[in-house]
Amino acid sequence: MTDTATASPLAEIIAARLTAALAPSQLEVRNDSHLHAGHSGDDGTGESHFSVIVESPAFAGQSRVARQRAVNQALADLLSTRIHALAIKASAPGE
């Protein structure tokens, strides 16, 4: 199940990338940019700060760091160009 809260074009791209890379059983992508308007990293696009909650069988047996690395890898080019901040909550089913 995928939920893109506070939808934006970039949130939809993030959701598509994470879906392709991790086949999540649950995914929520939230655009938090409005909470950071005028702060460092706010580029004025309204698409600079995001939170993701992702549950995936791919995370079973992985450490918190390994899970975050997997998310970061799936979004690497976006993190270097379009995303200023990304909060990640990653879990395996049943956790």
Task: Compute the distance between CA of residue 20 and CA of residue 3 in angstroms, rounded to an integer.
Answer: 15
Q: Could you tell me the pTM of the whole model?
A: 0.84
Residue-number span of the structural domain to which 35 is assigned: 2-91
pLDDT of res. 60: 98
CATH of residue 56's domain is 3.30.300.90
Owner of token pair 């690497």: 76
Crossing angle for the helix pair 9-22 and 64-74, to the nearest 10 degrees: 120
Query: Residue 2 pLDDT > 60, yes or no?
Result: no
Contact 83, 70 (CB under 8 A): no
Task: Compute the distance between CA of residue 66 and CA of residue 3 in angstroms, rounded to an integer.
Answer: 23
Counting the structural domains of the chain, the total is 1
**How confident is the model over 25-73, as pLDDT tens digits?**
999 999 887 665 656 655 655 678 899 999 999 999 999 999 999 999 9
